[in-house]
């Protein structure tokens, strides 16, 4: 029996990296990460090396079944330099501490995009549909677009073993969201990238692409797309102390520029103070406040100050590894 292993990695394009992948065929493969060998690729074709020293390495870090192909697996990898050190494009390597103390739930928003019209499904050529309002969590052909694609992607993720916890139509026509949860910063990042890969590949069948830009419709009265980061550690889940959350929120206020630097390119177009966002040059936090930089969910308060925080600033095109890394770093600093 021969198996297809799809090695997936992030390229070196700036300011936003893209997914790349290639297939390895292996005989008598048992489906474990330990059986996945290191591999290499031409980094000069992905903005990750020069042509005279083009080899970059792919280090397997996670494996799941590939429900879209026969006898196949998806292998998430980190990019290493030829000497085995992390490549500068390797966001996963920026996560210094990774254990089950930190839990992450990412809310990944995105727009479906029609390459022929250069607009989302539901937008008439050269114009706009009725204003946003009826599309959020909607049903019916006038408001919800391309549900077949969305449902197929969800089924593929679940069949592959990804911990996708939900989907919904978002506030603009052609805009959707899925949510992923994991009890590890690195695992949460792995799952978002693998789910993104499956979404991109599934959309090919429908002649659609995925637009991860945080404000693809430009300066219009349509919401942008985010990747809200919901995070907690043991102290947040167990202490039952409001001061724990206050310390963390206050600490985040000391690192605004550091956060924005890794929260996605062109995010200033989305973080305007409108459409359930705080302005990019301001910082705030509050209970149940979706216009704040960080929202304290009402459930956290009602559960006796036990639970999570939601950083609403990360853009839809942000690298979840880098977002998780800085969330962990700042939270630990606050509680040190």
pLDDT in tens, 235-278: 999 999 999 999 999 999 999 999 999 999 999 999 998 877 89
Determine contact, residues 280/271, Cβ cutoff 8 Å: yes
DSSP string, 250-307: HHHTT-HHHHHTTS-TTGGGT-BS-SS--BTT---EEET-TTSSEEE-HHHHHTTS-S
Res 127: pLDDT: 82
- Closest by Cα among 60, 1, 59, 3 to 26: 3
Q: Which residue carries 């083009």 as its tokens?
A: 54
Both structure tokens of 9? 């990695």
Its CATH architecture, for the domain 103-335, is 2-Layer Sandwich (3.30)
Residue with tokens 């609403």: 312
Q: Please say if the pLDDT value at position 221 is more than 90.
A: no
Confidence label for 225 from pLDDT (cuts 50, 70 and 90): very high
pLDDT at 53: 82
| Predicted confidence band of residue 51 (pLDDT cuts 50, 70, 90) | confident
Start and end residues for every CATH 3.30.590.10 domain found in the chain: 103-335
pLDDT value of position 65: 98
Q: Give the predicted TM-score (pTM) of the model.
A: 0.96
Q: Which residues contact 281 (CB under 8 A, 6 or more apart)?
A: none
Would the pLDDT of 95 be above 80? yes
Gap between the Cα atoms of 77 and 262, Å rounded: 20
CATH 3.10.20.70 maps onto the chain at: 2-90
Question: What average pLDDT does the segment 36-54 reach?
Answer: 94
CA distance 96 to 92: 9
Rounded Cα distance between 111 and 105, Å, is 20
pLDDT of residue 52: 81
Q: What is the pLDDT of residues 163-196, one digit of tens each?
A: 999 999 999 999 999 999 999 999 999 999 999 9
Which of 143, 191, 138, 140 lies closest to 167 in space, CA to CA?
138
Average pLDDT, the chain: 96
Q: Supply the pLDDT for residue 99.
A: 77
For the stretch 113-167, pLDDT in tens is: 999 999 999 999 888 899 989 999 999 999 999 999 999 999 999 999 999 999 9
Q: Which among 70, 67, 53, 59 has a CA at the least distance from the CA of 2?
A: 70
Q: Specify whether domain 2-90 bears CATH 3.10.20.70.
A: yes
CB of 266 within 8 A of CB of 214? Answer: yes
Alpha helix stretches (DSSP H) within 133-268 = 147-160, 185-204, 234-238, 242-252, 256-260
Does the structure show a pLDDT above 90 at 97? Answer: no
């Amino acid at each position: 029996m021969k198996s297809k292993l799809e090695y997936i990695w992030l390229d070196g394009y700036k300011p936003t990296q893209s997914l790349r992948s290639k297939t390895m065929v292996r005989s008598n493969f048992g489906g474990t990460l330990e059986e996945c060998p290191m591999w290499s690729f031409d980094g000069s074709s992905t903005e990750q090396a020069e042509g005279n020293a083009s080899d970059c390495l792919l280090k397997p870090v996670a494996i799941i079944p590939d429900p879209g192909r026969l006898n196949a697996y998806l292998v998430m990898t980190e990019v290493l330099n030829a000497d085995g050190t992390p490549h500068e494009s390797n966001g996963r390597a920026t996560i210094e501490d990774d254990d089950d103390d930190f839990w992450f739930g990412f809310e990944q928003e995105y727009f479906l995009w029609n390459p022929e019209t250069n607009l989302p499904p539901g937008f008439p050529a050269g114009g706009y549909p009725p204003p946003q309002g009826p599309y959020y969590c909607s049903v019916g052909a006038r408001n919800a677009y391309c549900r077949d694609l969305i449902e197929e992607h969800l089924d593929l993720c679940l069949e592959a073993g990804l911990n996708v916890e939900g989907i919904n139509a978002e506030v603009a026509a052609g805009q959707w969201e899925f949510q992923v949860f994991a009890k590890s910063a690195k695992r949460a990042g792995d799952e978002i990238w693998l789910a993104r890969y499956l979404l991109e590949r599934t959309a090919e069948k429908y002649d659609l692409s995925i637009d991860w830009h945080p404000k693809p419709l430009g300066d219009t009265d349509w919401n942008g797309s985010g990747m809200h980061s919901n995070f907690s550690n043991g102290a947040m889940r167990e202490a039952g102390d409001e001061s724990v959350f206050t310390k963390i929120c206050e600490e985040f206020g000391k690192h605004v520029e550091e956060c924005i630097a890794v929260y996605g390119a062109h995010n200033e177009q989305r973080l305007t103070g409108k459409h359930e966002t705080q302005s990019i040059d301001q910082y705030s936090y509050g209970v149940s406040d979706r216009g704040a930089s960080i929202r304290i969910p009402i459930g956290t308060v009602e559960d006796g100050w036990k639970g999570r925080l939601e950083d609403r600033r990360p853009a839809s095109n942000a690298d979840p590894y880098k977002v998780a890394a800085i969330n962990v770093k700042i939270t630990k600093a606050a509680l040190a």
